[in-house]
Amino acid sequence: MARVFAGLAASNVILMIVVFGLGFGAVGADRRPTDVYAVHLTLGILAGLFCALTHVSAFTYFMATSRWLREAAVKGALEEREVVEPALRRKTRALALAMTAIAVTVITMFMGAAVDPAVRLEIPSTVHLALGLLAIVMNLGCAAAEFQLIRVQSEVMDAVAARLNTS
């Protein structure tokens, strides 16, 4: 799962960087949409959905593996304190990281809609710009932390499987 998640996370951040870059050309000096606007908007929505896919995939991994570790602990008469409780803490941490990355990205998308020239809310576009940069940084940071949690969970699963196979 670590390699799959690394690929998803890298693709997610790259897509966000592309959308961020396109944003600079989406609206002209006269505050009218340019030809790049539709591409920025479409890829921005795609980036938001891909962000959710990336981070929900990580959380789903923890849901499944925590359940597997619980069943393995029962079957192998292993201490829940050593196997299950740390797995559940990692799952809780993964949920917090996933929701943080997704929330920042969704807020960035909403702010993008708010600064749309057709909406005329008179919100400075620099707010959307700053949130876009924050979304990239947060997604990168959350993905790095999730990757580390996935790596640890995988090592624990390998160790438990080895113990079960020798008994």
Q: Which residue type occupies 131?
A: L
pTM for this one? 0.92
Cβ pair 143, 54 in contact under 8 A: yes
Give Cα 142 to chain centroid, integer Å: 7
Task: Tell me the average pLDDT across 144-156.
Answer: 98
Separation between Cα atoms, residue 8 and residue 57, nearest integer Å: 9
Mean pLDDT of 13-37: 94
Which residue carries 């959380």 as its tokens?
59
Query: What number of residues does the chain have?
Result: 167
pLDDT at position 167, please?
Answer: 66
Residue 30: the pLDDT is 87
Sign of CA dihedral 145, 101, 47, 117: negative
Whole-angstrom distance, CA of residue 31 vs CA of residue 143: 35
Q: Is the pLDDT of residue 136 over 70?
A: yes
Q: What's the pLDDT at 31?
A: 82
Q: How does pLDDT run across 89-121, given as a tens digit for each residue?
A: 999 999 999 999 999 999 999 999 999 888 878
Average pLDDT over residues 61-67: 97
C-alpha–C-alpha distance, residues 137 and 131, integer Å: 10
46: tokens are 């795609």
